[in-house]
Chains A and B, each alone.
Chain A
Amino acid sequence: MGELETQQLAAMQNEKDIYEEHVLDHYEDPFHRGPLEDATHAHEANNPLCGDVIHIDLRLDSEGKIEQAWFDGEGCVISQASASMLVEAIEGKTVEELREFSADDMLNLFGPKLTPNRQKCCLLSWRVLQGAVHSPLDGEEEDQDGLNFGGPSLKEES
């Protein structure tokens, strides 16, 4: 194999390593992991096919700005690290801004390119967040359970 080919192959392999340092850092040392005592909004969802669970607590101020965002959960590196990245990125944002934060934005925030099957792991926290802003803890607003999210579906395995 020529040197160039070897280099290209190495680059390809690197690109394939979705567990880059930045991702593992978020996994091992997450941002705001745990419950938020005086949360105003919260939501939780899971991916029954792989058992990933994400819970998000938010505190919104009277202007609809996210003062605090915390997550908790269980699951693969991708689901947990992406949740950490997401809550870190959205603090200080308004609900309006959140609405514009698309699934693609979430995948970009995560960084390493994911196969369709793993995108679902990454988008779980994004889906929970979109649900959380519509789930006030005093229970006045409708829970948007049927909220649709644009990720590919992870089918059952044999």
Chain B
Amino acid sequence: MTSNGEQMPDIATDPRPVDFSGDLAKYREDFPILSRSVSSGEPLIFLDNAASTQRPRAVIDAISHCYEHYYANVHRGIHTLSEESTQRYEQARATVADFVHAASPKEIVFCAGTTAAINTVARSWGDANIGAGDVILLTIAEHHANIVPWHQLAERTGCKVEFIPLGEDHTIADEQVAEALARWQPKLFSFVATSNVLGTEFPVERWVALARQHNATVLVDAAQAAPHEKVDVQAWDADFVVFSGHKICGPGGIGVLYGKEQQLESMPPFLGGGAMIHRVTTSGYEPAGLPEKFEAGTPPIADAIGLEAAINYVSDIGLERIAAHERALCQVADSGLRGIDGVRVIGPTPELKGGIVSFVIDGVHSHDIAHQLDTAGIAVRAGHHCTMPLHKALGLNSTTRASFYLYNTIDEVHQLIESVRELRAKFAPSGRRRRRR
């Protein structure tokens, strides 16, 4: 249900065609930033969506509207604005709960983002449940946000962090997951739903079920999944699911930690301060109930309201339609890039991934690729994308990543392919000695 009580568009009941290219021009107009050009004067082609998407007018307006009309600190206040703010902030939480199909809004903790959410779990659940010799199991495809907090936990507790390797086809077979779970008997299996480099979509439900056979607690990093596919935390059955607002057209500085109620209930608070307490005395404190227990301090109020607007925006378009659109773009980009001499796509075939295509060009560094593409107006990301262990396992220093969202067009993808072809010709060593000495 959306905030105004309508059922979210569903592919089974949504009468609109899955292909929304007819509406694309209209959607693009919703994003004011898409009409600008880059420093070379070329019109912007924004293909850096996996790092952060852009915001539609509806989100920008929701935030402005909050600040212009009813902003005040939430909870505690007895005045009109605080009542209104509190009501809107809690409404935003309810919308998020519906969006991910949580059993109750109590299971939705607002935090600064995916990174903050994982750190909260590591500090709270981790410190309370993990001891020397215990194993935290990850995949090699994790973002640093789902590695470093566990390394830090290992420093504090003496636990071990183990990694499931990647298969030849840039996927991970269920058997490998089952084998790793049996071998390590991890206390926690924490994995990424969609790789931010390979684009690979891992089978979350199946892996959670496998982890359950070994009584492992499960955290799913849905940072790259929530913007593009329906997240159903009850179907997934994970203990924790985390994602960021800024990758789903929402504001920066806000993200979601979903936790099963009995899990969150059993965990000690992490940050201490105002709002997370029931009572404080000179000798101690009594924590508040859920979800306030994990929301110490003044929360990002307008950002939560902006996130709600973003969720309503993408839900109105329909996540299934967005996913189908991205898949179409990905298909063209993937085969177009694979067709260029010297270009290698790093990731599985398009059926197995979302709207992310990473690639390398033999003999051309990713920074030069990204720089040259920028000259053509195309924003892509170059580097290790916060996945150094993955790049090491792939034997690469860096990759260039193009990532799509609902507002990208087939034309833009064609321009990407053409520009890559041109720059490959520009930088490929010609073998000439041409410098005058």
Using a CB–CB cutoff of 8 Å, the interface residues on chain A facing chain B are 9, 12-13, 16-19, 24-26, 28-29, 31, 48-52, 74-79, 118, 121, 156-158
Contact = CB atoms under 8 A, between A and B. Distances in A.
A79 B52 CA distance: 28
A121 B433 CA distance: 24
B118 to A, nearest CB: 14
Nearest to A117: B367
Interface of B: 39-41, 50-52, 143-144, 196, 365-368, 371-372, 375, 381-386, 388, 397-398, 426-427, 429-430, 432-435, 437
Given A28-B434, A157-B381, A77 B368 contact: yes
A16 B430 contact: no
B434 A77 contact: no
A8 to B, nearest CB: 10
Most chain B CB within a 10 A radius of its CB, from A9, A16, A17: A16
A18 to B, nearest CB: 7
B366 A16 contact: no
A12 B39 CA distance: 8
B385 A157 contact: yes
A156 B372 contact: no
Contacts of A28: 429-430, 432, 434-435
Given A157-B385, A158-B51, A158-B386, A29 B371 contact: no
A77 B386 contact: no
16 contacts: A13-B40, A13-B41, A16-B40, A17-B375, A19-B371, A19-B372, A28-B434, A28-B435, A29-B432, A50-B367, A50-B397, A50-B398, A51-B398, A121-B367, A156-B386, A157-B384
A109 to B, nearest CB: 15
A84 to B, nearest CB: 9
A156 B50 CA distance: 15
Given A157-B381, A157-B383, A158-B52, A19 B435 contact: no
Given A50-B367, A77-B368, A158-B196, 4 more contacts: A19-B426, A49-B383, A50-B398, A77-B365
Contacts of B437: 31
Given A25-B435, A77-B427, A118 B371 contact: yes
Contacts of B144: 156
State the 8 A-B residue pairs at the shortest beta-carbon distance, nearest first: A51-B397, A76-B365, A25-B435, A29-B435, A158-B51, A76-B367, A157-B383, A29-B433
B258 to A, nearest CB: 21
Contacts of A29: 432-435
A25 B437 CA distance: 11
A25 B430 CA distance: 11
Contact of A50 (B365, B432, B434, B435): B365
Contact of B368 (A19, A26, A156): A19
Nearest to A76: B365
Nearest to B365: A76
Contacts of A13: 40-41, 375
Given A26-B435, A158-B386, A12 B371 contact: no
A26 B429 CA distance: 12
Contacts of B385: 157-158
B203 to A, nearest CB: 24
Contacts of B366: 50, 76
Contacts of B371: 18-19, 118
Most chain B CB within a 10 A radius of its CB, from A49, A51, A74: A51
A17 B372 CA distance: 8
A154 to B, nearest CB: 9
Nearest to B381: A157
Most chain A CB within a 10 A radius of its CB, from B52, B365, B367, B384: B367
A76 B41 contact: no
A157 B375 contact: no
A12 B143 CA distance: 37
A126 to B, nearest CB: 17
A6 B176 CA distance: 59
Contacts of B388: 48
Most chain A CB within a 10 A radius of its CB, from B381, B426, B427, B433: B427
B404 to A, nearest CB: 16
A28 B388 CA distance: 29
B427 A25 contact: no
Most chain B CB within a 10 A radius of its CB, from A48, A75, A157: A157
A157 B145 CA distance: 12
Contacts of A31: 435, 437
Nearest to A25: B435
Most chain A CB within a 10 A radius of its CB, from B40, B41, B397, B426: B397
Contacts of B52: 158
B317 to A, nearest CB: 24
